[in-house]
A and B are shown apart, each in its own frame.
Chain A
Amino acid sequence: MDFSQNHFEVFNLAVSYDLDMEDLSRRYRKVQASVHPDKFVNATDYERRLSLQWASQVNAAYQTLSSDLSRAIYILEIRGVVIQENPRLPGDFLIEQIERREALDEIPQNSCSLGALAAFREEIDTCIKDYFKEFSESYLTKLGLAEMLIYKLQFFTKLRRQVNEIEERILGY
């Protein structure tokens, strides 16, 4: 039992951004079916403790790998990149972000705006998709570019979260 395995090794996978999500969740279920505490209810204390630790690690690995952003960040970390808290970003990108934020602020927060918000979200989603595509093409060869893409994606995912929060406020939950 090796608790120092990386999240890919937990599923017997090679480190790669491009994962078949169906395959990953199949592996997740298979491993959980053999290590989950429910399978060790009548076992010795030691086995139950092992099962608890192992199942926790499998869950953490699955959580990290099943989200595109956290998987991308995790790969860079494995490759020795230290993700910065306050990275320097190109001026034109920041200006674009400010413009998008202003555009979002201009959408009135009432029920008539749901359509406009959905359109705004769709636009962001397209950008996010494009950035991930670029990441997938660059992370093996151009670590610096891949790192920059992560910072940009962090901006966009934050913006997307804000859209969701506004929607939730309008819908009253």
Chain B
Amino acid sequence: MALLQITEPGQSIDPHQRKTAAGIDLGTTNSLIAVTRDGTPDTLPMHCGNHLLPSVVRYQGELTLVGQTALDSAEEDPLNTILSVKRMMGRGIDDIDRFGKSSPYDFVSNESGMVRINTVAGEKSPIEISSEILKELVERANQSLQGSLDGVVITVPAYFDDSQRQATRDAARVAGLNVLRLLNEPTAAAVAYGLDSGYEGLVAVYDLGGGTFDISILRLTRGVFEVIATGGDSALGGDDFDKCIAEWIITQASFGQDLSPRQLRGVMLQARTLKEYLSVSSIADIDFMIDGLSFKGQLTRKKMNTLVSELIIKSINACRRVLRDVGEIKIGNVVMVGGSTRMLAVRQAVTDFFGVEPLVDIDPDRVIALGAAIQADVLIGNKPKDEMLLLDVLPLSLGIETMGGLAEKIIHRNTAIPASKSQEFTTYKDGQTAMLVHVIQGERELVADCRSLASFELRGIPPMVAGAARIEVNFQVDADGLLSVSAREITTGVNASVLVKPSYGLSEEEISNMLRDSFQFAKDDVKIRSLAEARVEATRLIDALESALSQDASRLLRADEAALLKDGIASLREVIKSRNINLINDEVKKLMKASEVFAALRMDSAVRAAFSGLHIDQLQEDS
């Protein structure tokens, strides 16, 4: 007979207790955090009641400011106030040179490739800067929830490459967050519109943000969101619309081409105000004075629309291209995301192209965070019955460098993720025991035109004559769109170890250093932290296994097998109380090993169940 389990007073072991998970839209200009309460997602207020937190961080020696207060100091302290850090995530110094001649920061580059900014608080990487924004969001969320978050879903642009996604995940790690999933922004938007209830068909998500344009096509079937293609233009956004209008003002006012940066920024701001005003009015009066420049005039909506028409056409062309990738033209719903979709000319063009009125009911600035909150609630396990499932694709092809600097694609863009592919390599010298694989991402033929992701050094290849070794390298992309690589020699079965050197990322050591600095732990605290981590890991295993046992033990295991696992849980629970980190970790490993067979049985049974349900469907349909 199994022993009765008695809970210690005040210590709940119920794995089904409600947890809180949040959705985070980590934006270029603004960031938001949202949670689902009583089935409804809502964004949470920041310091001053506003739900949008400007994605701005200011370093002041000991003090770090985030949000509006930081933004207010942008002009006064430009070197230490960092804006639009999202554009620097997973980027190197050469990328920054390309898009940011006007940015005032003191950039430094180092060995690990990713750019850093010199501030009064020392050198800061985009990962650390982003983690400050995340920490601020979560702190505010904890305050308004009067509790703490169990996990978060963070959204990223669909076209974000591996380095940018990895950087986002690392930022969350530095902020001490449990990331349940990186979710693509367009998918989040479609989820927010609750299209899963009832609607079946194709959905286009048209996302025109400040600096980028994204178009995604999703297929919806009974709660399953299947991304079937993504495309877009990473250099087309609201800022370009402002630029067109600003150029018109400059010509009309005969300002000439030699404006100071301050004057130029002033004219750009005027242009943006005009653009926003003309979304509600058909004509706008212009009357301004900036740094000695003045201009009086008028701009009609009609005129503005002709000024920006080329940009709108560019976005529609990208839509046409994606529809071609999909091979279908019938789109049932169009979801609008991003502040720039408030422009009436944009809405009209989208309506004309897709032949359907776009959905605009949800605030385009908040829609992504709301969708992420819904997904977070499902992932953390609050809706075990929920049918919702998001199936995403790889936005950019993954490949490797071959002879002559050519790119060979291993996993093509728009492949459903998770995805895995193996490729065989061989040695070109007798006795060769190591090999370097350069992994790249992009669509172009030449390595130089693609993004370098990382170099993988395979070591421990058994020495053989040239060409005899057969090294199978496996590329695995997980559900977050992140790549990992493993390798083994086929004829001997020897695993080659893979040493990763990210081109624009941080090494494991740098991340741990950041974690340490970030929490300002003394030596003793590091131990306390490791103990806490070991305990969390152990509790996680106990929760997962208990929940699995209560569901399936009677169905899939003999009584003695179940008892063995229950005993394992009981002894792990005993060990957790000790302060012996090694003992806890050993016990976790033992229990994990013991539960592997059960896990495999459960998955087999789930797959069988999926098909058995289907046979019934089919019988019904056939009869």
Contacts and interface: CB of A to CB of B under 8 A. Distances in A.
A42 B418 CA distance: 18
A173 B320 contact: yes
Nearest to A12: B611
Given A27-B611, A27-B614, A44-B544, A59 B416 contact: yes
Contact of A37 (B418, B548, B600): B418
B181 A38 contact: yes
Give the interface size bracket for A toward B: 35 or more
B96 interface: no
Contact of B617 (A26, A31, A60): A26
Interface string B128-146: 0000000000000000000
Interface in A21-55: 23, 25-27, 29-39, 41-47, 50-55
A30 B600 CA distance: 18
Contacts of B460: none
Contact of B222 (A29, A32, A37, A168): A29
Contacts of B151: 41
Greatest chain A CB density within 10 A among B222, B320, B544 is at B544
Contact of A30 (B419, B479, B614): B614
Interface string B175-196: 0000011000000000000000
B476 A56 contact: yes
A172 interface: yes
B491 interface: no
A171 interface: yes
A62 B414 CA distance: 13
Contact of A52 (B221, B415, B418): B418
Contacts of B611: 11-12, 27, 30-31
B240 interface: no
A56 to B, nearest CB: 4
Interface in B409-432: 415-421
B416 A63 contact: yes
Given A42-B543, A44-B595, A33 B600 contact: no
A16 interface: no
Contacts of A60: 419-421
B324 interface: yes
A32 B151 CA distance: 23
Contact of A46 (B419, B596, B604): B596
The B interface is mostly helix, strand or loop, or mixed, namely helix
Give the interface size bracket for B toward A: 35 or more
A62 B420 CA distance: 13
Given A29-B221, A53-B420, A23 B618 contact: yes
Given A44-B541, A50-B600, A33 B610 contact: yes
Contacts of B320: 171, 173
B540 A59 contact: no
B65 interface: no
Interface of B: 151, 180-181, 221-222, 224, 226, 317-318, 320-321, 324, 378-381, 387, 389-391, 415-421, 476-479, 540-541, 543-545, 547-548, 592, 595-596, 599-600, 602-604, 606-607, 609-611, 613-614, 617-618
14 contacts: A1-B600, A1-B604, A31-B611, A33-B389, A36-B391, A41-B379, A44-B592, A46-B599, A50-B599, A51-B603, A52-B476, A60-B421, A171-B320, A173-B317
Interface of A: 1, 11-12, 23, 25-27, 29-39, 41-47, 50-57, 59-60, 62-63, 164, 168, 171-173
